[in-house]
Amino acid sequence: MDRNQLIGLALMAALWFGYWWYVSPSEEEQAAAIEQSESGTPPAPAATVVARPEQDSLTDAHYTRTNDTLLPAEWVSKWGALAPAVAGEWTQIPLANDRVRIGFSSRGGMPELASLKDFKRYGDQDAVQLWDPGSSKLDISFDWNGESRALSDLHFSAIARTEEAVTLEAKGADGAAIRWEHRLEGYNLHSELSWVGVDASLGDSLQLNWAATGMRNEKGLDWERQHSAVYFKEAGKGRDYLSDGREDEATTELPLEWLAFKQNYFSALVSVPDGFAPGAQLRSSPAASDSATMAYSAALAMRMGSGNVQNFHFFLGPNELHALESTGLEEAERVIDYGWWIFGWLNRNFVLPLYNLLADWTAHVGLIILLITLVIKLILSPVTWKNYLSSAKMRVLKPEMDEINAQHKEDAVARQQAMMTLYRETGVNPLAGCIPALLQAPLLYAMFRFFPSNIDLRGKSFLWADDLGAYDSIVDLPFHIPFYGAHISGFTVLMAASTFFYMRLTMASQPQQMQQPGMPNMQIIQQIFPFMMLFFFNGFAAGLSLYYLVANVISIGQMYAIKAFFIDEEKIRARIDLNKSQPKKKSSFQQRLEEMQAEQQRRTKELKAARKKQS
């Protein structure tokens, strides 16, 4: 190596050491950085540590010194006194009680996770989560110097904590701050949002932006989706909802009192004291992944509360009547869809109290369903007796009815008139069996809504069913059958079979009617209906299929018992003959009805005669 090479290497080394000395922080800056790290304050972004000459002024083209902290000028221009609150790394701040665990994001200070300690996901021991933290976001946008800003752009730190409460603060300069005070009470989260020292910059409107993806928690994904939707209540109107399990959206026209993201047995609900403004945008759609149920979103505008303070009320819990009533919100309990009108009234005021009464006596849900079915069938036994007695009378009259059908085979009006005369003379009411059946229909449909909505069935086993709140399976198929599924529900098979035999007994107990043109063939319906139930109920909650199975078995037993011990068709025949021998006085209605029938018969004959002449 010659002298020139040595000189070149020496100059390069000198330049390198000079550059290193120039960009290295001073001893004061190193001490400040150590003190800042020990205090837990997040470090400034990398762009702010580039060496720069000392200046007497507070600002240059890129940086601003605020409260002895060097900040990017862009932050200060955008946030003003709140600029120091922009810096900070994401952390999750926990808060829990004996029922709920909530994780608050340090970016915005709002819940990003909510899990329920008393409820486990199907198939494992993980707690139920109300939404997927990885694909959900709860945020608030607000007016700041005439532009829209989001709380999630600011860093919040915990400044105070008790067992069931935490205070979070995004601290700015010159006393400016945004503060959250969160307090848990059962399944209810009470949150107060306040702005301090920012009156001149803050606008008078807020918007809650909530996007959530519901996590799959139950055995049957399709069933869980079919019972998941956005529920809400507008001022002066009843509870409303978007379509369950399907893509739907709505824009409210009235102030919104509350909104809930319902996922089968659980809900996340939010409200504010004065309600959200009209024009709330709500949307839901099935999630793309099989690990999730529905994708929900809501944009809820509101006016700023007095004193720059806004209160929020969240309910994060199960769809259980008393839990929802604890919110104090009107019709919040109707997130549980027990049915509309008389059906919901029956479930809330009769079936649910009966269920709770039996639950106090035994914790075995399968046994409770059996007892409820027995009680309901006993209550309806007078209706069943009336229905069967009417069928017995019609069977006794079958010879006379067959004779009338043969005499007036081609004349429907004359046939109907002769039938009415027969009913009047014998004292038999052909509608006597229909009216009792109509009276029990609301209760039967109410049960159809009750069991799938009752969270108490969730996770409870009976016989081979491991979860009465979901479908049961006696055979898991290695393939999927369209409109049926990839399993065979044992309770559904037994329920369909019992329905088939019950319908056969019912049809056999009634006189066979002449097939009317355009009317459905009841014999065919009898064969098809149970088969259709195999497809319709295969994915339904096992508790519902169990109820209908037990109800069919009890009904079959009632029919046999009534026929064997309570119905004597010979006595009915004697009573009918006695009625026929006694003169009957026609009521004015019957006289008018017969006159109308006679007039109709006369016109029919004239019309036929006229057509015959034309031909």
From first CA to last CA, the distance across the chain in angstroms is 132
**Tens-place pLDDT, residues 307-349:** 889 999 999 999 999 999 999 999 999 999 998 888 888 898 8
Number of domains in the chain: 2
Q: Given its phi and psi angles, is residue 514 left (phi above 0), alpha (psi -120 to 50 degrees) or beta?
A: beta
Is there a contact between 346 and 376 (Cβ–Cβ < 8 Å)? no
Concatenating the DSSP letter of every residue in 24-86 gives SPPHHHHHHHHHHHHHTPPPPPGGGGS-----SSSB-SSEEEETTEEEEHHHHHHHGGGGGGG
Answer yes or no: do 251 and 190 share one domain. yes
> Do 470 and 485 reside in the same domain of the chain?
yes
Domain assignment present for 62 = no
Q: What is the pLDDT of residues 451-485, one digit of tens each?
A: 889 999 998 999 999 999 999 999 989 988 888 88
53 domain residue, yes or no? no
Within 10 angstroms of residue 225's Cβ, the number of other Cβ atoms is 22
**Is there a domain that residue 33 lies in?**
no
What is the spatial distance between Cα 337 and Cα 326, in angstroms, rounded to a whole number? 18
User: What is the rounded distance in angstroms from the CA atom of residue 598 to the CA atom of residue 604?
Assistant: 10
| In-domain check, residue 464 | yes
- Domain final position from 305, 337, 369: 337
Q: What does the pLDDT look like over 124-154, one tens digit per residue?
A: 888 999 998 888 999 999 998 888 999 999 9
Q: What is the mean pLDDT of the chain?
A: 81
Compute the CA torsion angle 367, 370, 374, 375 (nearest 10 deg).
Answer: 60
Residues 348 and 333 in one domain: no
Domain with 256 in it: what CATH number? 2.70.98.90
The DSSP output letter for 145 is T
The Cβ of residue 220 has, within 10 Å, a number of other Cβ atoms equal to 21
Secondary structure, 3-state, 169-203: EEECCCCCEEEEEEEEECCEEEEEEEEECCCCCEE
Residue 539 covered by a domain: yes
Same domain, 195 and 139: yes
591 belongs to a structural domain: no
State whether 425 and 293 are in the same domain: no
Do 348 and 226 share a structural domain? no
Same domain, 290 and 356: no
Residue 311 lies in a domain: yes
387 three-class SS: helix
Let me know if residue 235 belongs to a domain.
yes
Do 427 and 323 share a structural domain?
no
pLDDT in the model for residue 60: 46
518, with CB counted inside 10 A (0-12, 13-18, 19+), is: exposed
Domain end position, chosen among 337, 361, 381: 337
pLDDT over 70 at 584, yes or no: no
Lowest mean pLDDT among 31-45, 111-125, 238-252: 31-45
Same domain, 453 and 513: yes
* Token representation of residue 403: 């004779």
Q: How many residues does the chain have?
A: 615
Same domain, 236 and 374: no
Residue 61: pLDDT over 50? no
**Is it the case that residue 200 has pLDDT exceeding 80?**
no
The Cα–Cα gap between 295 and 228 comes to 10
- Tell me the residue range of the domain where 312 lies: 92-337
pLDDT tens digits for 388-419?
A: 777 777 777 777 777 777 777 766 667 777 77
Q: Is the dihedral of CA 557, 560, 561, 563 positive or negative?
A: positive
Distance of CA 315 to the CA centre of its chain: 14
Domain boundary among 281, 304, 337: 337
- Strand order in 248-251's β-sheet? 147-150, 137-144, 202-215, 292-303, 281-286, 248-251
| Domain identity same for 187 and 213 | yes
Do 268 and 359 lie in one domain? The reply is no
Residue 210, both tokens = 């909530």
Task: Residue 557: name the closest of 601, 513, 605, 501 by CA.
Answer: 501
